[in-house]
Amino acid sequence: MVSREDALRLRGVSKNYGPVKALAGVDLTVRNGEFVVLLGPNGAGKSTLFQILSGLFVPDAGEVLVGGFDMRRDPISALKRLGIVFQQSTLDLELSVYANLMFHARLHGLPGSVARERIASEMERFGIAGLARETTRKLSGGNRRRVELARALIHRPSFLLMDEATVGLDPPSRRDLLAHVARLRDEGQVGLLWSTHLVDEASEADRVVVLHRGRVLFDGTPREMTAAAGEAEFGDAFMAMLASPPEAGAREPAGVAP
Ligand X SMILES: Nc1ncnc2c1ncn2[C@@H]1O[C@H](COP(=O)(O)OP(=O)(O)OP(=O)(O)O)[C@@H](O)[C@H]1O
Burial label, 257 (beta-carbon count in 10 A; 0-12, 13-18, 19+): exposed
Q: Which stretch binds ligand X (CB under 6 A): 35-43, 58-66, 79-87, 97-105?
A: 35-43
43 contacts ligand X (rule: CB under 6 A): yes
Site size for ligand X, by CB under 6 A? Answer: 11
60 contacts ligand X (rule: CB under 6 A): no
Q: How near is the Cβ of 211 to ligand X at its closest, in Å? A: 7
Q: Helix or strand or coil: residue 162?
A: strand
**C-alpha–C-alpha distance, residues 6 and 77, integer Å:** 15
Q: Which stretch binds ligand X (CB under 6 A): 16-24, 89-97, 117-125, 240-248?
A: 16-24
Of 29 and 48, which CB lies nearer to ligand X in the complex structure? 48
Helices (H), 20-158: 46-53, 75-80, 97-107, 112-125, 141-153
Q: How near is the Cβ of 219 to ligand X at its closest, in Å? A: 17
Q: Which stretch binds ligand X (CB under 6 A): 14-22, 26-34, 107-115, 244-252?
A: 14-22
Cα torsion through 143, 167, 81, 42, rounded to 10: 180
Q: How many CA atoms lie within 13 A of 202 on its CB side?
A: 27
Of 71 and 184, which CB lies nearer to ligand X in the complex structure? 71
Interacting residues toward ligand X by CB under 6 A = 17, 20, 22, 40, 42-48
